[in-house]
Amino acid sequence: MSRTIHRSRRTALAVALGALLVAGTAACNPTSGSSVTTGAKPTTATGTKAASSGQSSSKAAKVGDTIALKGMDTSADVTVVKIVDNPAGADDYTTPDSGKRFFAVQFRIKDTGSKAYSDSPSNGAKLVDSQGQSYDADVSDTKAGTSFPATVNLSPGATGLGFITFQVPSNAKITQIQFGLDSGFADQTGQWNV
């Protein structure tokens, strides 16, 4: 009889832990409310970025444009500063895999929230090609420029600048760059046309 009670308690505990795990996963990765933001922040007549009014313009973002993004606890203005297609590896030992090339994107991240930005930018960055195939970041450094460190910590108002490198097929035509806060788990993703 004590085995039955002990087994029942273990089963109840396992069910309760399973329910907590499912609830926690749903809270960290919600499926509703996700959006892709393609509108660049408006610019002034002098070409500088205007103060954010919380609205994006109807102009599709491209390289050089800034998109205001919101994360779970912070917000940031993210700019795709430039792209370098097919840069050489940082040293003689860094080469892309056979049939692939490096594609490096320089991002500027400005913490516009009231809390510190602490994240790994490469986790939230993706490339998309003309066929709709997406590519995650690679850990390689290239001669395009200085990469972001593994973790970037910015106080409110501070700015970080760095490259994120990808490996893509040699013949892939990259058409979009995507970036999301919270290692890509934020509901909002910015998208720039290449």
Query: Rounded to an integer, what distance in angstroms lies between the CA atom of residue 67 and that of residue 79?
Result: 6
String of b and e for 166-190 (b: at least 16 CB within 10 Å)? bbbeeebebebbbbbbbebebbbbb
- Give the per-residue pLDDT at 42: 80
Both tokens of residue 26?
A: 């749903």
For the stretch 55-68, pLDDT in tens is 444 689 999 999 99
The yes-or-no verdict on residue 43 having pLDDT over 70 is no
pLDDT attached to residue 35: 84
Report the pLDDT value the prediction gives residue 131, as an integer from 0 to 100.
Answer: 97
Q: Of the ranges 5-19, 44-58, 117-131, which one carries the lowest mean pLDDT score?
A: 5-19
Q: Is the pLDDT of residue 93 over 60?
A: yes
Buried-state track 97-122, b at ≥16 Cβ within 10 A, e below 16: eeebbbbbbbbebbbbbeeebebebb
- pTM for this prediction: 0.76
Secondary structure (3-state) at 22: helix
For the chain, give the percent of residues with pLDDT over 90. Answer: 69
For the cut 70, the answer to whether the pLDDT of residue 24 exceeds it is no
pLDDT class for 159, splitting at 50, 70, 90? very high
